[in-house]
Structure 1
Amino acid sequence: MAVLLETATLPRQDRAEAFYAAMMSASVPSRVEHEDRHGEVHARMDFWQLGAPDLFRNEGSGIRLVRTPRHVRIGAPERLALAVQVIGSGQFSQDNTDRRVHTGELMLVDLTAPYDFAWSGHGASQAFQIDYDDLGLSVETVRRAAQRLPSSPLYELVLHHLTVLPVVSDSLQGTPAAEALGAATTQLVRALLSSAADDRQWHPAVGDVLFTRILWYARRHLTDPELSPARIAAEHNISLRYLYKLFAGHQLSFEQWLIGERLAGARRQLASPESRHRPVAAIAAEWGFLDPGHFTRRFRRAHGMTPQEWRRLHSNPD
């Protein structure tokens, strides 16, 4: 995470100018109006680079952002922003449509067109920003989707994803997984907009994107003994039946996939020098195999040798 602005460290008379500079570096040109320009202007802006797309969070006192036709003519990357209002409520206007954006609601902003967005008092919004070229959808499809976001079956899923994205992004910064997270989020946003716009060309991708996100979630929780099909289905707002259907569509059994992933994790740990003195049963339990005999049978079936034999074969001597 990069902190673009923290007004608490600045003299009061410099805050409005610093806010404008930070906003212009993080997004597209627009006019910035502060609710109390000569009073208590305060803000913090955070920025995460996730490969080509990025995540931008702004929290602070009342503001109004106005992107006029003149700003559009100045030029900027052809981008859009899918934002979630995380504190307070805002008033958003674009394409002859006005709406109130409440806490916990999504807002789609076409950054290639004029818009007006404001909140009063203390508020916060975070936006996933992506180029149209990377999204792979037409401007017409995006604008059609903007009017119908809540109609998509993926609305709650994407809302939850964007809400927790800063915390996840912090843990992945500086790793190859950060770019993978950006690509996965792009796919999820594409599926949301396609389904909301009723663009049937992309409907088959919805299940694929959801399946990819489920695998990513499950791999992050492989060592959690509470991980179960019911929990995964609940976390992704789908039925247990649909979860099994997704795996079957990829010629997989959920249970067999989970066992295979956990065996792979145990196999890596058995060969790790840091774990050479840990009992095999302890490693097995860490990866969800509470019965050592069951673990040994599963391991032998998958790898043709016992866990102890694997450890002796792959551990490096001191």
Structure 2
Amino acid sequence: MSLFLTTDATPAEERLAHWHDIIGRALMPMRVTPYAPDGAVSGRIVADRLGPLRLSTIEADAQRLTRTRADIARSPRPFVAAHVQISGRAELRQDGRTATVAPGGLLLHDTARPYTLDFPEPFACRIVLLPRHALDLPDDDLRRITGTAVGTDTGVGAILMPFLATLVASAPSCPPAIADRLAAGALDLFGTLVAERTRPGDGARDDLVRRIRDHIDRHLADPGLSPETVAAAHHISVRYLHRLFEKEGITVGRLIQRRRLARCARELLRGGAAGPGVAAVAHRWGFVSSAHFSRSFRGVYGHSPREWRALRTAAVSGAVDEAVGLGH
């Protein structure tokens, strides 16, 4: 169910404080600085959830939004934000970089590090928050693409921007099972964008790495999948395999585990309380030991597999605001 928040019925002298609360509730804690000489600001936000994604459509007066280290300490859950500008201009500053977009532009930023968003005129935008834990991406790669604008005329950006805009618009009508599949598609497409922007001019080495990653994804259900079997399948030594992945920011063994955990997490979300048991899901995706699976899952997602499934059940029922990502 969509959450609609607006300052329309708020007295003028209380609108700034109310808008500050709305931003914090629908997005996350940030400072609001209006551009109007009288310090007034009006706006409205429609917020939704699509699987693990948090979605917002914002229309508001000119303003500056600043997320400080103090704000991050109050709400540390990390997201990567994909920001689609609908009308007006936006300027993003993060990590010493500045990026400006007009309508139709796409900005990327990391909510776990300070940033500023300037809107010098009335604007509308759509924001998709992707949980950091759901992105199977090296930290170094994310730091290279956040605080930047993405071209939307060619490449993956030309696919991702309209896809995200459509997700936000269609979220209220999506049943949970479809929502989870669409969210998984958005996460995968975002990963493809990151790969495109961080590894230009791939060459033979990167083509081999892509084939190895595809091989791993196709064989996740095989409990015997290991660096040794991956190397043998590609007719290279284990030592060379590890050298290839030094630049990927993740070992092959860890990549196998993370991809398995991601498949398990998505299946647990889709299945809900009536789905297959935790042990069955773990074994289906190559985990031999249920205890090892549970420890590994908690280490990555911060919840046990059963707690993770319960969060999804709570989100569907609307009983836990934090689970649906619309509260704090």
TM range (shorter): 0.5 to 0.7
Q: Which segment drifts farther, 157-166 or 192-201?
A: 192-201
- 1:128 is displaced (CA, Å) by 0.9
Structure number with greater Rg is 1
Q: Which residue of 1 aligns with 2:127?
A: 127
Q: Which has the higher contact order (CA 8 A, sep 6+)?
A: 2
Q: Is the 8 A contact 2:32 2:64 kept in 1?
A: yes
Amino acid at match of 2:34: H
Q: Which residue of 2 aligns with 1:76?
A: 76
From the superposition, tell whether residues 196 and 91 of structure 1 become closer, same or farther in structure 2 (CA, over 3 Å).
Answer: same
- How far does the alpha carbon of each residue in 1:168-226 deviate from its partner, in whole angstroms, 9 at most, with x for none? 22331x4421222222111111111122111859856999xxxxxxxxxxxxxxxxxxx
Q: Which residue of 1 aligns with 2:52?
A: 52
Q: Which residue of 2 aligns with 1:108?
A: 108
- How far does the alpha carbon of each residue in 1:3-57 deviate from its partner, in whole angstroms, 9 at most, with x for none? 3412222222222112111111222322111122746522110111011111112
Q: Work out whether 1:149 is the aligned partner of 2:150.
A: yes
| CA distance in 1: counterparts of 2:179 and 2:212, whole angstroms | 22
- 1:167 is displaced (CA, Å) by 2.4
From the superposition, tell whether residues 35 and 148 of structure 1 become closer, same or farther in structure 2 (CA, over 3 Å).
Answer: closer
- How far does the alpha carbon of each residue in 1:67-93 deviate from its partner, in whole angstroms, 9 at most, with x for none? 123333444101110111111111111
From the superposition, tell whether residues 148 and 2 of structure 1 become closer, same or farther in structure 2 (CA, over 3 Å).
Answer: closer
Q: Is the 8 A contact 2:87 2:125 kept in 1?
A: yes
The gaps in structure 2 that reach 5 residues or longer are: 201-205, 215-328
Q: Work out whether 1:32 is the aligned partner of 2:32.
A: yes
Q: Is the 8 A contact 2:52 2:183 kept in 1?
A: yes
Amino acid at match of 2:183: G
Q: TM-score, normalised by structure 1?
A: 0.59
Q: Is the 8 A contact 1:79 1:110 kept in 2?
A: yes
Identity of aligned residues (%): 22
Amino acid at match of 1:158: L
Q: Is the 8 A contact 1:16 1:37 kept in 2?
A: no
Residue pairs, 1:265-284, within 5 angstroms: none
Secondary structure at the aligned position of 1:165 is classed as helix
Q: Is the 8 A contact 2:59 2:124 kept in 1?
A: yes
- 1:158 is displaced (CA, Å) by 0.4
Q: Which residue of 2 aligns with 1:165?
A: 167
| CA distance in 2: counterparts of 1:148 and 1:17, whole angstroms | 30
Q: TM-score, normalised by structure 2?
A: 0.57
Q: Which residue of 2 aligns with 1:259?
A: none
Q: Work out whether 1:98 is the aligned partner of 2:98.
A: yes
Q: Is the 8 A contact 1:86 1:104 kept in 2?
A: yes
> How many equivalent residue pairs?
207
| CA distance in 2: counterparts of 1:31 and 1:72, whole angstroms | 11
Amino acid at match of 2:58: N
Q: Which residue of 1 aligns with 2:178?
A: 177
| CA distance in 2: counterparts of 1:22 and 1:89, whole angstroms | 21
Q: Which segment drifts farther, 196-205 or 19-28?
A: 196-205
Q: Is the 8 A contact 1:30 1:71 kept in 2?
A: yes
Q: CA RMSD in A?
A: 2.8
| CA distance in 1: counterparts of 2:212 and 2:101, whole angstroms | 28
| CA distance in 2: counterparts of 1:105 and 1:70, whole angstroms | 29
